[in-house]
Structure 1
Amino acid sequence: MPVIAMTQEMGSLAKDVSLRLAESLGLAVMRHEAIERVADRAQVSTSLIGRLRDGKAGLVERLTTDKRSVALYTAEELFALADRGNVVLRGWGATCLLRPVPHVVCVRVTRSFKKRVEWLMGHLGTDDVEFAEAELRRSDQAHASRMNDQFGVTWGDPVLYDLVLNTDRLSVESCVEQISLLASRPEFAETPESRAMLADMALEARVRAALKEHPATRDINITINARQGQVALRGIVLDAEERSQTEDVAAAVAGVQSVDNQLRLMTSSRLFASSKQT
């Protein structure tokens, strides 16, 4: 069940490659419905998410939006789609989130800035070069900032990808052929171990999202490790009630078979803030 994670770079033709790849291999793609679910759970509009991703959100929007919630729900959605298999996931940090899974192919599709400017001008029907260049720089900066903030990586670092394709030199069809060939290689064959790893990561994402959604646990910052339905909780909480509530919320998540509650209690309520998200 191929899982292909791709970058999203405005004007790179990555969208064309992903759609043609999905059609060629009979794969699903991450549709707008998934983004709508993320927006609904984070209680924001899909347009706001788009502005945040493209670096177009205003100062008030950036300061008031709970970006951690958006990131958590996005990760949950991505892991759920990847866990089902037979899918192409473009953007949303998919290459970083899924890179640890051996059978996931991580691809960057890129293009020269000049060609991307030409693409955007044609796409918008404008001859304003400065405007197109500014839009691309804003988009690139937003992507780079988000990748660094969420994953601590440098956007575009070739080491993050299994394959880097330059559409200045390669056609969309050639890109599809190269990705298909790599996905069929033994190195990217799904194994029981890689399948279990992805399932564990998907379960961890579901538990994190559930804790964030519950009023009693939404501010708790703990470590969650899942292995074949067994979930271990590690970290510090305020008191015994918070410890119990966290275990209850985790235990109620679909796929959790048991909870190993290793949460420790604060020795003083004055340290309360250190156990909470900032």
Structure 2
Amino acid sequence: MSIVAISETTGSQGDEIGRELARALGYAFADREIIMKAAERMKFLYHVDWNDPLLYDLVLNTERLSVAEGARLMREALQSASVQPTERSLAQARDLSLAAQARARLVMEPSTRHLRLSIAVTGGQLTVSGGVESPALRDTVVKLLGATPGVAVVTDEITVVAPPTFARV
């Protein structure tokens, strides 16, 4: 299923176009509060700004369109083969989802939530890199990430870095 985001400014009829499109396609219509929460989540998990027009395949100026015309244009665009998911795009989405789930595991664990680690996933193979204070903490990280459903292999590129010591003068 495609995701359709409609940015609404005062008088744009974005809400009306969205409701009409959802009705015509049999989609559920999500109100602005749900969309804003999703935007915050996307920014946190994927470092993507929901309001960036370069992320979208179609941007409409609704000042000159009726609700019916806006919904029709979007319906036609959604039927285009160029916006249908491919095996590659689905795999990328799975990898991004696994990376986000892995990061969430680290955030939920008190002993690892302070860490700034890099996580990348390709084909279910997770690579983690960065620095930790001890071998035990590295083991905890690897164990947590390996328990993420869908992660087949964890490649550990973590460096154990001793915390700095300060001498008294």
Q: Could you state the TM-score of these two structures normalised by the residue count of structure 2?
A: 0.78
**Structure 1 residues 52-201: aligned runs within 5 Å:** 91-92=39-40, 151=48, 158-201=53-96
Greater Cα offset, 244-253 or 155-164: 155-164
Query: Distance between the aligned counterparts of 1:13 and 1:253, measured in 2?
Result: 42
CA contact (8 A) 2:96 2:121 kept: yes
Query: Distance between the aligned counterparts of 1:93 and 1:244, measured in 2?
Result: 28
Shift of 1:179: 1.6
Shift of 1:29: 4.6
Q: Secondary structure at the match of 1:4?
A: coil
Give the AA of the match of 1:269: P
Give the AA of the match of 2:164: R
What residue in structure 1 maps to residue 147 of structure 2?
A: 252
Q: CA RMSD in A?
A: 3.1
CA deviations on 1:150-169 (whole Å, 9 max, x unpaired) are: 55x6x866434322222221
Distance 1:177 1:257, change over 3 A: same
What residue in structure 2 maps to residue 17 of structure 1?
A: 17
Which of the numbers 146, 149, 160 marks the counterpart of 1:265? 160
Query: Distance between the aligned counterparts of 1:182 and 1:201, measured in 2?
Result: 25
Give the AA of the match of 1:261: D
Name the larger-Rg structure.
2
Higher relative contact order (CA 8 A, sep 6+): 1
The count of residues paired between Structure 1 and Structure 2 equals: 163
Distance 1:31 1:261, change over 3 A: farther
Shift of 1:235: 1.3
Distance 1:206 1:12, change over 3 A: farther
Shift of 1:25: 1.3
CA contact (8 A) 2:6 2:15 kept: no
Query: Distance between the aligned counterparts of 2:7 and 2:42, measured in 1?
Result: 8
Which consecutive residues of structure 2, in runs of 5 or more, have no partner in the other structure? none
Q: Could you state the TM-score of these two structures normalised by the residue count of structure 1?
A: 0.50
Which consecutive residues of structure 1, in runs of 5 or more, have no partner in the other structure? 36-52, 54-73, 79-90, 99-149, 272-278
Shift of 1:202: 1.0
CA contact (8 A) 1:6 1:94 kept: no
